[in-house]
Amino acid sequence: MNYFPAMKLRVAIIILIAGGWLVPAQTNESSLDVGDMLDAAQQFAQDNLDPDVLKALQDVDRDKVGDFLKNYQACLQGDYVLDVAQLKDGANAILPLLDAHEETQPYAAWLRARLDYFDAAEELKAITPPAPPGTNQPPPAANPPFAVEQEIWIKKVSPRPWPEAAKKFVPELKTIFAAEGVPVELVWLAEVESGFDARARSPAGAVGMFQLMPATAKNLGLSLFPFDQRKQPEPAAHAAAKYLRHLHEQFGGWRLAVAAYNSGEGTVQRLLKRYDATSYERIATHLPAETQMYVPKVEATIRHREGAALEKLKAA
């Protein structure tokens, strides 16, 4: 049985109730089943926590809980990297709640793989000049330059040991990527996306080690029913490698391909056209906040794990 202090859950509940004010909720449909999440958390509370905490959990507005988790995704998809820093305390408080029951652990796996985004945004905020007087927030052009984010991520990633799951999966994943004609070093996207946790599920519906969305998975030949192949490392790796190869052929560079893997082909295409650009560096500060951190995080991870530069990777 998994236990955590009642006070921690009280803090999480307070944040859940107040969560709606962070940023506007996404308008896109989400596969997050808020009712199931709250039912699971409530059952855990009933079994393990005192009556006051259980009552607080019963009083939580389920719509606000849904908005809260959607807000996490929305903020990561927003325009401004420093906004992500505001999610740090809430993320650390809600993670034990999501981890408390098997039904909600996939969301915990997704969130856990992104905790360092909140730390990185906080570090970037500390070294970024404040907004001009009379403005609510700096414009997107004030996002930290790519080179600054690179430095942050190299420092954050370089001390990290191999994830325990990587020892099991990386050799097999490299064989699959090689068979698909993709640089084997790119298997480390699975660390950034999910920490090599095949259960991971985002509030938007991405699933598995490589966080494939349903439509993308179907287009790549994966089945979602009766068994979701996104949760199976081998089929998911084949699909992710094929998608990366397609993106590299389309955009001509691995930074742009990785950016498109995270934010979507359409996002990268529109920005390249809008800014008459051909390089990642030219559009970096205009990408969604998560992508602005995702690309240098992937690059730093591959450099740390393989001693290789992302842009110089060669197909197997």
Task: Give the pLDDT band of residue 11 (cuts 50, 70, 90).
Answer: very low
Q: Enumerate the active-site residues.
A: 193
Residues 52, 170, single domain; the answer is no
Q: Both tokens of residue 282?
A: 């030219």
Domains: count for the chain: 2
Tell me, yes or no, whether 33 lies in a domain. yes
pLDDT recorded at residue 57 = 46
Q: Which domain holds residue 110?
A: 6-122
Residues 112, 164, single domain; the answer is no
The more confident residue out of 32 and 47 is 47
The more confident residue out of 26 and 64 is 64
For residue 237, is pLDDT > 80?
yes
Residues 189, 296, single domain; the answer is yes
Record the pTM.
0.80
Tell me, yes or no, whether 131 lies in a domain. no
Q: Strand runs (DSSP E) across the chain, as ranges?
A: none
Under a CB-based contact definition with an 8 Å cutoff, are residues 210 and 193 in contact? yes
* φ, ψ (nearest 5 deg) of residue 26: -65, 150
For residues 51-76, average pLDDT: 58
pLDDT recorded at residue 220 = 97
CA distances to 95, 175, 305 from 195, rounded to whole Å, are 15, 19, 14
Residues 308, 164, single domain; the answer is yes
Q: Both tokens of residue 73?
A: 């995704």
DSSP assignment of 258-298, as one string?
HHHHHH-HHHHHHHHHHTT--SHHHHGGGS-HHHHHHHHHH
Tell me, yes or no, whether 152 lies in a domain. no
Residues 102, 16, single domain; the answer is yes
User: pLDDT (tens digit, 9 = 90+) per residue, 252-309?
Assistant: 999 999 999 999 999 999 999 999 999 999 999 999 999 999 999 999 999 999 999 9
Rounded CA separation 187/169 (Å)? 9
